[in-house]
Amino acid sequence: MKKMKTLQQLALATLLTSVFFGVAVEAKVQQNVTQKAKKAPKQFYAGWYMRIRASATTSTGRTFHHDTAGVFGELVQSKYKNDRHDIPSYGAATFQVVFPHYDWEALSGDYWSDYRKYRAGKADARAVYTFQIRNQNTVDLSNASLKLYVDEAQNVKYYKENGQVQYVETDTNPTLQEAFTLVDVDNQKTYAIDEIKDVDFAMDSLHTRTFRLVRGEVRKKDFDPVVKP
């Protein structure tokens, strides 16, 4: 013979469904992801990255995309200066997103990624990522419209296997990009990230357009052009 459910149990159940239901569902979904994940050594938070995607459309309607680079972020294993996670760009292209680093002496040049060191507790520290849109090859895009997109931050964990650091991309963090402001260096304008999807930045008769993504306070020098030595 069974006992009736106690009033306290009923109250708890009602509370869960009526007040905390949304939170509870999220927690359970997350738990399920963990259960189904491939068994691996203990994982630690490594940092995050975002991807800048760009597209240019000519007056004839021909559109060029670049969405395989434009990666910037922070990793525990990276440095503020050049490190092995800064991928050098290769070759000229009609249309591409690059991070110019003329400050890296022998390693001076354009990069397809720009990783800095992740420091726990310094997630809000001011940071500036300079990127340029390049139109280098035979198709002239100087009069094209220009759209920019910044994808949600991708969280990254790492684990060590045979002494080797391995990365695992876990979930996205949609709030991280809210801390950034886009600076249109050529036009001396700023934009919140959530408004850039509606903006036609235009190539403005240029073959190189310069922008900065600034976390924290935007300062006067963030509007300075990139000067190639």
Q: Which residue has the tokens 């395989």?
A: 68
CB nearer to another protein: give 70 or 147: 70
CB of 9 to another protein, least distance (A): 3
Residue 103 CB, nearest approach to another protein (Å):
16
Question: What residues are paired with 158 via a beta bridge?
Answer: 44, 167
Residue among 95, 169, 171 nearest 139 (CA): 95
Q: Are 186 and 209 in contact (CB under 8 A)?
A: yes
User: Looking at 123, 167, 181, 199, which residue binds another protein (CB under 8 A)?
Assistant: 167
HSE-CB of 120 using CA atoms within 13 angstroms: 4
Least distance (Å) from another protein to the CB of residue 159? 13
Among 56, 82, 96, 153, interactor with another protein by CB under 8 A:
96
Interface positions, 120-139, toward another protein (CB under 8 A): 137-139
Q: Which residue has the tokens 């020098």?
A: 221
Within 8 A by CB and 6+ apart from 204, the residues are 142, 186, 187
| Binding track, positions 59-78, relative to another protein; x by CB under 8 A | -----x-x-xx-x-x-x---
Q: Are strands 189-192 and 71-75 parallel, antiparallel or unpaired?
A: unpaired
Q: For the CB of residue 214, give the shortest distance to another protein in the complex, in Å.
A: 21
Residue 173: in which H helix or E strand, if any? strand 164-173
Least Cα distance to 223 among 178, 181, 189 occurs for: 189
The reply to whether 84 sits near another protein by the rule CB under 8 A is: yes
Question: Which positions touch another protein (CB under 8 A)?
Answer: 1-6, 8-10, 12-14, 16-18, 21, 24-25, 28-29, 31-32, 35-36, 46, 49, 51, 64, 66, 68-69, 71, 73, 75, 84-85, 87-88, 90-96, 109, 112-113, 115, 137-139, 154, 156, 164-165, 167, 169
